Each structure stands twice: as structure tokens, then as C-alpha cells.
Chain A
Amino acid sequence: DAKTTQPTSMDCAEGRAANLPCNHSTISGNEYVYWYRQIHSQGPQYIIHGLKNNETNEMASLIITEDRKSSTLILPHATLRDTAVYYCIVRVGNNAGNMLTFGGGTRLMVKP
């Protein structure tokens, strides 16, 4: 699976949009981009995933560049409860082991 690069930490003001970038320049054509987050001391939580089109759900939006070498997770109106570590993961869709390879992630701090 392709490696991802994320900033170590970011701050965001409460109520503003949080834009979390991820670089995955070696992504293959059959690899999806997944985002999970981990709130302190809890298990990771799935947020969203995509292949090449932009995706939106009730939690967030995922913007994938046309060349698929990078993506951005957008939390449109960040709240204090969105403070967490956000993991960008690139994975083959039919990975038999269904393994999620977690890197260091981005620690997002939402401030009042």
C-alpha cells in the first residue's frame, strides 16, 4: 500500500472549516483514500473514503486532486469535539487482509 504524508499538527478555530491535507504521490490506480480519526483514548472511527471523485457525507468532505497524488479532508464547521488525530490511509480496495496501515496522522486541535 502507498505511503502517506501528513502534517504533524494543525489548529483550527471553532466554527471554522478545518482542511487537513494528505500527500500520497505513489498511489496506484486501484488504491482508495480513507480517512479515520481517533479521539483521545478511544478506538479509531471511520470518516470517509474515495477513489477519484470528491465525496461528501454527514461528517466531512473529501477532495482528491485530479492526478490523485494528494487529497484534503474538510470538516466544514469544526467543533471542540472534532479535536482528534486524523489518519489518511491509502489502501487497495480488495485487500484480503483488510489491513489499515496507520501512519502518524495529524493532530487537530480545535480552539474556542
Chain B
Amino acid sequence: NAGVTQTPKFQVLKTGQSMTLQCAQDMNHEYMSWYRQDPGMGLRLIHYSVGAGITDQGEVPNGYNVSRSTTEDFPLRLLSAAPSQTSVYFCASSYNPQDYEQYFGPGTRLTVT
């Protein structure tokens, strides 16, 4: 198993541009989520999904959209990038929403200028 994969590893955007961060898992996990981590801080939940076709907002959802058309993929869309969205983004998954162990991807480092 590749586990949780994220692309790209690094990305630089200009203010106002849009882009999609990709996340995929091959463990047949129902639950997937996106976190952001600002320098020197812990992770904050952006959006999550408990299964294909179901998504919900986390702690900091503004400026981001998600969709879950398949079990494997959970892309995160930045609609109009802002410097405040400069961060490292982590995708995570677990077998079900109550699972105690979540598996994290390697992260995408995003800079918005």
C-alpha cells in the first residue's frame, strides 16, 4: 500500500489564483480530512468526509472547497488564494470516523505571494 499520498509537494501561487491540492489513499478508508499547519503551530481541521458523497466543514473552512466523488480521492480546492493561506496542508484518513488511528500524508507546502 502507498498509504496516503499528496500532490504537489510544493506550490507557489499568486494572490487570486486558484488550484487544487490532491489527496489519495489506497487503504479503502471511509474517513478523510484536510488540515493546515501554520509555522510553529498545531494542525487545524479544514474539511472532512465520512464517505463518498459526504463532506462537512471543520474548524477553518473559509476559502476552501472539497468534494468526495470516490472513496480513494479527496481534493482540496483553493478558490482565490490569499497570503493568509500560506501553510502546510496535510491530508489524513482512517477506516471509519471513530477510528483511533489516523494516517497522515506527507503534506503540501503552499506559499501565496
> Chain A residues in contact with chain B, CB under 8 A?
32, 34, 41-46, 49, 87, 93-105
Q: A99-B45, A105-B42 are in contact. Are A44 and B104 (CB under 8 A)?
A: yes
Nearest CB on A from B39, distance (A)? 12
Please state if B43 and A44 are interface contacts (CB–CB under 8 Å): yes
Closest A residue, CB atoms, query B105:
A43
Q: How far is the CA of A45 from the CA of B42 in the complex (A)?
A: 13
Structural contact, B97 and A97, CB atoms closer than 8 A: yes
Known: A42-B107, A43-B107, A98-B33. A87 touches B42 (CB 8 A): yes
Choose from A42, A43, A87, A103 the contact partner of B92 (Cβ within 8 Å). Answer: A43
> Which label, helix, strand, loop or mixed, suits the secondary structure of the A interface?
loop
Q: Is the CB of B102 within 8 A of A100?
A: yes
Contact assessment for B98 and A94 in the assembled complex, using a CB-CB cutoff below 8 Å: yes
Closest to A45 in B: B104
Given the complex, which residues of A lie within 8 Å of B58, measured CB to CB? 97, 99
Give the residues in chain A near B90, CB-CB below 8 Å: 43-44
Task: Let me know if B100 and A46 touch, CB within 8 A.
Answer: yes
Closest residue of chain B to A102 (Cβ to Cβ) is B42
**Smallest Cβ distance from B85 to chain A, in angstroms?**
18
Contact between chains at B107 and A98 (CB < 8 Å): no
